[in-house]
Structure 1
Amino acid sequence: MREKIIGFYLACINNERGKIHSLFRSLFFILSRFYYLAIKIRWLIYKLGVIPKTRIPCAVISVGNITWGGTGKTPAVIMIAKLLKEMGKRVTVLSRGYGRRKEKDKKNKISIVSNGKRLILSSREAGDEPYLLSKNLPDVSIIVGKNRINNGKYAIERFATEVVVLDDGFQYWSLNRDIDIVTIDCLDPYGNGYLIPRGSLREPVSHLSRADIFLLTRANLVSRDDLHRIISDLERLNPHSTILESVHRPKYLQGSFSGEKKNLDFIKDRRVVAFSSIGNPYSFEKTLEGLGAKIVKIFQFPDHHDYQRNDLREIEAACRTDLEKGEVIAVTTEKDGVRLERIISPEADRVFWEIWILKVELEIVRGKEEWQRKIESYI
């Protein structure tokens, strides 16, 4: 049912024809105007100091976006935290923990996903993104919870934190920050141009004037003309910002059952079943094609999809013969790998002989030196 609702909603905002779609699209547009008004009033309240922003006694770096969906925030947080650790800083990542198991009194609960030495919570308890952060940042403490002001103060007391990285923090206006970094997906920089719920914009595009740094992600997947247009737009909106270009650099493939690592040549010229439940599945599929994979079937699940074994059986049923012969391999993303862990454990009956997870890292390809100077100047 949830998937059908999401599918219908996406069809509406993506301008699919039909009277019902058109009716709901009009309704969503009206609601988006009320949303715009609420955002403007809320921002004015903070701007005028009616509700003061809280400053905590450590540096705060916010990483966020202006649209919902996958813009590369998680790999950006990983990259930033690693840089700060290389600089010798004690770092804590604060995340809201979207999609984690609901708990009573969740609003003020402080949940430690990792203390910088070991993982404490499961992916269900932490949320898939904080759990993924913890696996990639084993020496960084990760805390989830709605009240990130209290969580930041707790991190300072418990871990002597020197720098807080605020995951998905662009709209968290109550906490003062030293640097506001906004990730912009070059494949879909502003969604369809409409605010929620008519579109995917979480704030008006004009609010990008608050950003200190724009981190353009997937810059290699668009033409230079399109990239220059995005840069020109951002320079017009925010002439004092720093604009960086980055790519999602594939590193290797890892078997979800065996843990075996394969270099990227393993996928070249192979027939692939690609499945994912991320904000921008198109970028994942395009990356596979760039590695020389021959995609024969694509399965796209809603973002943050809670995988069940029936999902894997559905994929297997569509490609059973080829999978049995080993002529097709199944590939998914690292974030999906986190959500699949509990249903592809060695104790569970296998649907696939192996599921390969594509490991990628964010890499700045233009503006790297300026980026490091900017970070160092605030820390």
Structure 2
Amino acid sequence: MEIWLQQQWRGISVWHLLLIPLSWCFALIVALRRYAYRLGLLKSYRLSVPVIVVGNLTVGGAGKTPAVVWLVQRLREQGFYPGVISRGYGRDSGQVLPVMADSQAASVGDEPLLLARRAACPVWVGAQRAATGAALLAAHPECDVLISDDGLQHYALQRDVEIVVVDGERQFGNGCLLPAGPLREPVRRLRDADLVLYNGLCNGAAHPGAYTMRLQGDQFINLQQSQQCRSASDFIGVPLMAVAGIGNPERFFSHLRSLGLVFESRAFADHHAFVVDDLAFESTGVVLMTEKDAVKCAAFAQSNWWYLPVQAEIEGDFLGQLLNQLRSRCG
């Protein structure tokens, strides 16, 4: 259903027009809610350290997780001790929990688990961002900056810097708000963001002053034996099945094609809870997947399953602008 909706939201049809009145109602609710926070009618909370929010305007993935990993690594290089908080979409509770490298994705969410394994910093999950951040800081008083993953619309937590990540290919779909389109907030919301980051080349006019992020990776890691690595060239001419349960599966498939690989593909909904039968294909070829999906499949992995870690590269002086924003807002 989610994949079908993402496809439908790229254009306008009769059923979109029928949903436009609901989108107007949604837009009104979104605007009133935001103004209520601005006026203090709804309570917001400020934590004891600066907060960087990384989010997007649309439903579905835009590439926030690689951006958060990049931010953590760069901030650590600058002498900061960052922590990450997240809702943990797809998990089975809203409880505030620390995320460990050996946590279960069903309990903490797939993206937080990936972050805990890649970012080398404290990661906590919880339904309420402010309470989650307070719990992380109580457990890790050495942290001097927090990154809120996918927290753009969570105005109950005050923020010092906002980073909006945009899928360069899909951008904002048909430009409509939910349910007629994919937008959580109007596109003009970008004007209030401190930094805008396009994941991949922009398919159309980019927001003025925006930066571009590219995802790099050509080394695959075996799900059963993490010390086993293979380059993309090792899989050329091998029967392959590529699977992806992310916000934009086609981005992963396109990446594989750019590596010269030929494969069958199977797309699943974002945060899909994989089970063995999902990957029981008739062919006995190699299965390739994203790192985000691998954290959910490791418990029942086969010897011919491999995942592709990716690293973000951000052009220009994005880090310098971020540090300037932090210094100007936080002293």
Tell me if 1:354 matches 2:321: no
Counterpart secondary structure, 1:77: helix
Counterpart secondary structure, 2:260: coil
Cα distance in structure 2, aligned partners of 1:372 and 1:6: 33
Cα distance in structure 1, aligned partners of 2:326 and 2:42: 30
User: What is the 5 A alignment of 1:195-344?
Assistant: 195-219=177-201, 226=203, 229-230=205-206, 234-235=207-208, 242-259=209-226, 260-268=228-236, 270-295=238-263, 297-313=264-280, 316-317=281-282, 320=283, 323=284, 328-344=285-301
Name stretches of at least 5 consecutive residues in structure 1 with no aligned partner: 236-241, 345-349
What's the offset of the Cα at 1:10? Answer: 5.0
What's the offset of the Cα at 1:12? Answer: 5.2
Aligned residues: 327
| Bigger fraction of residues in helix | 1
Cα distance in structure 1, aligned partners of 2:312 and 2:112: 17
Change in CA separation of 1:292 and 1:127 when aligned onto 2, cut-off 3 Å: same
Tell me if 1:173 matches 2:159: no
Tell me if 1:150 matches 2:131: yes
Cα distance in structure 2, aligned partners of 1:16 and 1:309: 37
TM-score, normalisation: structure 1: 0.80
Tell me if 1:164 matches 2:155: no
Counterpart code for 2:306 = W
Cα distance in structure 2, aligned partners of 1:358 and 1:294: 15
Counterpart secondary structure, 1:247: strand
Counterpart code for 1:110 = V
Are the equivalent residues in 2 in contact too, given 1:36–1:203 (CA < 8 A)?
yes
Cα distance in structure 2, aligned partners of 1:120 and 1:331: 22
Greater gyration radius: 1
Counterpart secondary structure, 2:210: strand
What's the offset of the Cα at 1:85? Answer: 1.6
What's the offset of the Cα at 1:266? Answer: 2.5
2:172 pairs, out of 165, 171, 190, with: 190
Match in the other structure for 1:110: 96
Match in the other structure for 1:347: none
Cα distance in structure 2, aligned partners of 1:36 and 1:53: 21
Counterpart secondary structure, 2:173: coil
Are the equivalent residues in 1 in contact too, given 2:64–2:150 (CA < 8 A)?
yes
What's the offset of the Cα at 1:218? Answer: 1.4
Mean Cα displacement is larger for which, 175-184 or 360-369? 360-369
Tell me if 1:365 matches 2:315: yes
Cα distance in structure 2, aligned partners of 1:207 and 1:251: 35
Are the equivalent residues in 2 in contact too, given 1:267–1:291 (CA < 8 A)?
no
TM-score, normalisation: structure 2: 0.90
What's the offset of the Cα at 1:53? Answer: 3.2
Match in the other structure for 1:66: 57
Match in the other structure for 1:86: 77
Counterpart secondary structure, 1:366: coil
Counterpart code for 2:53 = S
Cα distance in structure 1, aligned partners of 2:273 and 2:98: 22
Q: Larger relative contact order (C-alpha < 8 A, sep ≥ 6)?
A: 2
CA RMSD after TM alignment: 2.3
Cα distance in structure 1, aligned partners of 2:3 and 2:254: 22
Give the percent of matched residue pairs that are identical in Structure 1 and Structure 2: 29
Are the equivalent residues in 2 in contact too, given 1:243–1:367 (CA < 8 A)?
no
Cα distance in structure 2, aligned partners of 1:203 and 1:214: 15
Match in the other structure for 2:107: 125
1:38-83 per-position Cα deviation (integer Å, ceiling 9, x unaligned):
0011112123333353211101111000011111101111111111
Counterpart secondary structure, 2:279: helix
Counterpart secondary structure, 2:176: coil
Counterpart secondary structure, 2:99: strand
Counterpart code for 1:293 = L
Counterpart secondary structure, 2:211: strand
Cα distance in structure 1, aligned partners of 2:147 and 2:219: 27
Counterpart secondary structure, 1:374: helix
What's the offset of the Cα at 1:307? Answer: 1.1
Mean Cα displacement is larger for which, 57-66 or 304-313? 304-313
Change in CA separation of 1:16 and 1:299 when aligned onto 2, cut-off 3 Å: farther
